[in-house]
Chain A
Amino acid sequence: LAKTTQPISMDSYEGQEVNITCSHNNIATNDYITWYQQFPSQGPRFIIQGYKTKVTNEVASLFIPADRKSSTLSLPRVSLSDTAVYYCLVGDLIYNQGGKLIFGQGTELSVKP
């Protein structure tokens, strides 16, 4: 599974757009990029997943450049409730035995009023 690197922490203010970038230089051809969100004292929650270009859902957008060596999670107009740890994961579990997710340290996003 490709190793990922993301900032340990980020600060933002309510109403701003937040972009969290994840580096995955060794991403393999079959790998997808998946982001999870974890609030304090809760289990992680799937946010978004993509393979290339751009993916958007009701929560976030995911931008993936052509070389796929990085990806950016974009949260529009954050609120206090978006304060959480955001994890970037890279892998292709369909071809992997085990089905396990490998979590890094994540990015701790703090949204201030």
Chain B
Amino acid sequence: NAGVMQNPRHLVRRRGQEARLRCSPMKGHSHVYWYRQLPEEGLKFMVYLQKENIIDESGMPKERFSAEFPKEGPSILRIQQVVRGDSAAYFCASSPPFGTERTDTQYFGPGTRLTVL
């Protein structure tokens, strides 16, 4: 059973460009979460999605950031017009449907390291 997959693992963008980060959850998992880890800081929650629905986006910056989890395909975290402060590691996690394991048991991917020049 493959784990959570993220791509690309490393992404370099210039200021003003767009960054697209992809996450494929574990097989059978219907909940996806995105977290950001700035250099020398802990992980911060950004957004929680289920298929075709955003459940909680309380951690997402109000501008330039968006996320989706379509019916088919991976979850996408999109950052428009990137700035240097967006440089960080972005982690995706997934958890199984309610009624199976507890949703606080989340399985994390290897992360995408975004560098903005």
Contact = CB atoms under 8 A, between A and B. Distances in A.
Interface of A: 32, 34, 41-46, 49, 87, 89, 91-94, 97-106
B8 interface: no
Given A43-B109, A43-B110, A99-B95, A49 B104 contact: yes
Interface string B40-78: 001111001000000110110000000000000000000
A70 B43 CA distance: 22
Nearest to B108: A43
Contacts of A42: 110-111
The number of chain B residues touching the other chain, given as a range, is 20 to 34
Interface string B100-117: 001111111111010000
Task: Tell me the dominant secondary structure on chain B's binding face.
Answer: strand
Nearest to B31: A99
Interface in B18-51: 31, 33, 35, 42-45, 48
Most buried by A among B35, B42, B104: B104
A66 B57 CA distance: 36
B82 interface: no
